[in-house]
Structures are given as C-alpha cells and as structure tokens.
Structure 1
Amino acid sequence: MTELSISTAAGVFDAIVAGPPKGRPVLLLHGFPQTGLVWQRQIAALGAHGYRVVAPDQRGYSPGARSERPEDYRISVLVDDVVSITEELGWASFDLVGHDWGGAVAWWTADAHPGRVRTLTVVSTPHPGALATTLRTDQDQRERSHYMIDWRETPATEERMLAGDAEELRAAYAGKVPQASVEAYVRHLSRPGALTAALNWYRASRPDGVIGVIDVPTLYVWSTADSAFGPAAAQETGQWVNGPYRFETLQDVSHWIPEEAPETLSRLLLEHLRAHGEYGTTENTPPMDSQKR
C-alpha cells in the first residue's frame, strides 16, 4: 500500500492505494469517525487479487479539502467529490464500496451515476430510503439514530468528544477497533478543525433531492450487534434495490465490520466483484463459492 494525493477542483484528497495501475478500479469510502485506514485489510486483499484500490480520506478528513461551512457537506457535494476523484484517476467506471457515512454516499452515488458504478457494496448503512421509512415507523430505529441530533450541537460536541484525552471519542469504537487504529483516528481528528469538519457531515442540510431504487448489482452487509442501524432498516433495504441483490448478516459483530470482521468482509467483497464483471486478476480463476441470502 502506498499514499497518493488526488487533486480536484474541490481540493486535494489524501488516499491509500494498492494493486496494479491497470487493475479493475475499486473505490472505498470510509465513515465517521475514521479515515481511509479503516479499509487497510480489504485494500491488501483486493490489491493482492489484482484490483486497483483507492481509499481516500473524504471531504473534511483530508486537510486539503476541509471547508468550515456545514453546507459544503451536503450529500450532493459529497457525491460530486466521488465523481471528481474518479475522473482525476481516469476511471470511466468503477466498483464502489462504503461504510457508515461512506455507505450513505455510496448509495446516493449509485443512484445518481448508475452508468459509472459497476457494482455497489455497502457495509452497515441501510439504503437512505429504507432508513427514512423506519425512522417514521420503527421506534427502535428512532432511538438508535437520536445521536445524530445530539451531534449537531457546535462547538459543544467537539469539546465533549475531545475532553480527557478524547475519552468519549475513544469510547465510540467500543473496543472493537484495533488500538493502533484508534490512536491514528484520534490523532487525526484532534488536529485543529478536523473534528468539526467531520461533524459537519451531520450538520449539513437535508439532501436536496430524493433517492430512488438502485439498479446496479448490490451487496449489503449488516451486523446484528450494530448500535446505529437496527434490523428493520436492514431488512427494508432489499425493497430499494432492483438490480442483483445480496444481503449478508454477520452475527454478533458490531458496527465496525471492516476492522472487527476483516477476513469475512474481504471474502464477501471478492465474491461480489467476481460475480459481476471481469476478475481482478489477469488469470481466469473461478469465482469463490457464494451463498446468496
């Protein structure tokens, strides 16, 4: 894995890169409160199979693309970042993977640009339409999502999260993220302006459009011990995908799937990519066994 700076009209995005330059392109989008480092195990696995993998630090997390205004973190702007990054990389089409907020951006990108997204993989985050439905109908999901309202307070949230050597921020990882990664995330978000920029994703206005049903081949991976997204929204997500759809449930795994269950997620991701399109390697190796649910 190497580091790369991607210059766009919106700013400069830092990224982790692996795999051959001519390999099938895969973009991985992280969520809060993490960086592209969250994907290090998946980056290594995909790169070893011949895929060209790029995991950028998204808007606000990259110092070179860090606006102070909450309105600059609207979902349409975040989708435009994905387009700008992939255009700068020279990717006419690509496989898209997202976790947490990165998953939300991935859903919206697949809806807005289905001709560019070859396959979609979303980890933890239900389809935004499914989440909106369950926020209206499911008390459990409303309670799980209440933190989003609390985090819109500024600067109270930043001060609280970083107090006492970032005790509250550290607690968010629930002991499920490797300690070295926790320290890297805390250092990153403790720098001036970084945590405010990350929280601006929650403080931005509502989406300026309506998301539709997804037509591209989609893998959705949810875990039963996820504190943010409950079973109602996870089950409802299938109603929002018209294309080939695979729903995988990981038992007794928390919200932090990429780091808590890295081997399982890498296997599922490779199976999904191989099932829809050319293989990542130049060798015509058969796809892994796949069990659809």
Structure 2
Amino acid sequence: MPVIDHLLLDVHGITLSLYSAGPADGRPLWLLHGFPECWHSWRQQIEPLACAGYRVLIPEMRGYGLSSAPSEPEAYDLVTLCGDIQAAMDVLGHTEVGVISHDWGAGMAWYLAMLEPQRVKTLVTMSVPFGGRPKRPAIDIMREVNAGRFNYIVYFQEPGDAEAKLEADVARSLRLLLGGQGEVFLQDKPAGARLLDGLPEPQDLPAWCTAEDFAIYVRTFARGFRGPLNWYRNFARTWQRTEALAGQTILQPTLFLLGERDPVGKLETYTLKRMGERVPRLEQHVLEGCGHWIQNERPAEVNALLSDFLDRHYPA
C-alpha cells in the first residue's frame, strides 16, 4: 500500500478532511464516497490507482469523520456539497481532474460534472444513475409513490428519530446497514416503521469487510449520523438551486457501474433506461451477482474496468 497522506483543508467555510496517495505530480483523481461509508470504502482502489501514476484524493465528505458537520439540514444541498470539492480543487491548483464516485458521492458527482464541464474531464459513477433534473423535487414523488408504506428516504426527512436510533449502537447499526447487498433499504413494512425495526440481529461482518476495516467505519460514525442523514433532507433545496441546470447533459466520457442485485437498480429502472439520453458518452456495466457495495464486493472487476476506462479517457 502506498503512503497515505492526510490534510485538513479550510475551504468553503468548513474544514474538509482529505486523504491522498500517489505521486504528487500525478493527474488528480477524486474519489467520492456514499452512505453509510467513509474514505476507507475506497481502500481497494487506492493502491492500483496510485501505482498507475494518479494522485488519488479521497475527502471525508461534509458531515463525515474529521470534516465539519453543520447541524442545519440546509447546509447539505448538492450545490453546497459540490462547492466543498470545487474549493478544495482550487486550493490544490487542480485545473483538470477525473472523478470516481459511489452512492451519494455519485449523486453529487453528476452535478459536479455539470457545474465544472471544463475541469472535470472524465466521470465514473457507481450505483446511482442520472436522469436529469426532475420536473419537481424527487422527495415529493417518493412520498406519493410510497404513501402508506415505509420508505427509508421519507423516514430520514424528519431530523431526530433516525439519528437517535442509529446512534444508540453505532456498531450494530452499521452491521445491519452494510450486511447483505443493500436489501435493508428495500424493506416492506408500514409507513410508521423505523429503518432497523424487524431486522434480525447482525452476525458476521460481510466478507468484504474485515474487523480492522469495520473499526474505521465505526470511528467515522461515532461522531454521529446527523450530518450524513442531512444529505437526504435537501431534495427540495437542491431542486430549487439547480434550475439553471435543467435539461443539461453530461458531456464528459462517463463510466457507470451497477451491481445486478443492487436495490437501487430496482428503484431506478426508468432512470436507467433513459440515462443514455442525458449522458451521450456513456459506458455501462452490470456486475452479475453483485450488490450495492460494488467497489468492495468486486474490487478486481471494478479496478479492471476503471483501468481500461481511464487508460482511454484520462491516462496517467
């Protein structure tokens, strides 16, 4: 494993915790994590990318780990979150970058690519597809579609209860959330239920996560879940702040990866079918038998696809 450096950057009104590896003069590759993950969720990609000659940069996103975690939900809309990374790129002098992303990191990366069409030269997103800015806030649609039954995103909207339940036993919560292939987010139960209600007690860690790895996840969330959950509380605010991006396409060469058993694929069937209209330079791969935690469940396949794509569109 190459040497991993750590910086605390004062940018965009917050402190951003940033891990990096690889040659200082290598082409920058920003790796953006999702929920409930952390910078260490890219551990299987750091060495091959750094050894290929890239400067790998992995922020702890706003709300996570050692980065600032404002308590106000409105501090987490996607334009603000993109601003954190844009400001960090400015401080580091990055005029050309590649972006690799997963889950909420991917949701953010789509907008970063639109906001920075000159600086973001190539884009890799995993698990969360792009269908363009919706005609109305997505949370309004989710509430209508899931009226009368539980939906985890709708449940996360009200601050207080979700973070209290998750923080009551951080290790147990993470075992439940990270276990399996992400099925915990597709539970069929009444609207008044909570995320962890009715789940069996967690046993072993998933095969892709050692005890040492898991300890880093636990330390990340020991500071609390409110910041990470606030990302879910900004669908309306993001929609309002992105009016100028309505109808815009993703112009960069883009690689999209999805696990065959990822529950997001079931929730976003329509978006997946239409994504090529919004992302004309799109390459897609579905990894058979793979769940949501794609870069950890199938690191060899993911790394091979990354290497091929980057060699063609963003060579080191």
TM-score, normalised on structure 2? 0.79
Deviation at 1:7, TM superposition (A): 2.6
CA distance in 1 between partners of 2:285 and 2:105 (Å): 18
- For the 8 Å contact 2:60–2:66, the answer to whether it is kept is no
Deviation at 1:205, TM superposition (A): 4.8
**SS of the residue 1:53 aligns to:** strand
Deviation at 1:176, TM superposition (A): 5.6
Whether 1:204 and 2:234 are equivalent positions in the alignment is: yes
- For the 8 Å contact 1:94–1:119, the answer to whether it is kept is yes
Q: 1:183 to 1:152 in 2, by over 3 A?
A: farther
**SS of the residue 1:232 aligns to:** helix
Unaligned segments of structure 1, at least 5 residues = 281-293
CA distance in 2 between partners of 1:145 and 1:39 (Å): 31
Aligned counterparts, 1:144-183, within 5 A: 146-164=151-169, 166-174=171-179, 175=206, 177-179=208-210, 180-183=212-215
Unaligned segments of structure 2, at least 5 residues = 180-205
- For the 8 Å contact 1:27–1:97, the answer to whether it is kept is yes
CA distance in 2 between partners of 1:117 and 1:147 (Å): 32
- Alpha-carbon RMSD across the aligned residues, in angstroms, is 2.5
Give the equivalent residue in structure 1 for 2:29. 26
- For the 8 Å contact 2:65–2:221, the answer to whether it is kept is no
Give the equivalent residue in structure 2 for 1:111. 114
Whether 1:218 and 2:250 are equivalent positions in the alignment is: no
* Structure 2 residue identity aligned to 1:202: Y
Give the equivalent residue in structure 1 for 2:264. 228
CA distance in 1 between partners of 2:8 and 2:152 (Å): 33
Q: 1:145 to 1:182 in 2, by over 3 A?
A: farther
User: What is the percent sequence identity of the aligned residues?
Assistant: 30
Whether 1:5 and 2:8 are equivalent positions in the alignment is: yes
Deviation at 1:223, TM superposition (A): 1.1
Size of the alignment, in residue pairs? 272
CA distance in 2 between partners of 1:172 and 1:54 (Å): 26
CA distance in 2 between partners of 1:181 and 1:145 (Å): 31
Deviates more, 1:209-218 or 1:231-240: 231-240
Deviation at 1:36, TM superposition (A): 1.0
**SS of the residue 1:96 aligns to:** strand
Give the equivalent residue in structure 1 for 2:216. 184
Aligned counterparts, 1:255-266, within 5 A: 255-266=292-303
Deviations 1:88-123 (A, max 9, x none): 111011001110010011000101111110100001
- For the 8 Å contact 2:33–2:101, the answer to whether it is kept is yes
**SS of the residue 2:265 aligns to:** coil
* Structure 1 residue identity aligned to 2:120: V
TM-score, normalised on structure 1? 0.85
Deviates more, 1:253-262 or 1:150-159: 150-159
Deviations 1:165-184 (A, max 9, x none): 54233211013640333332
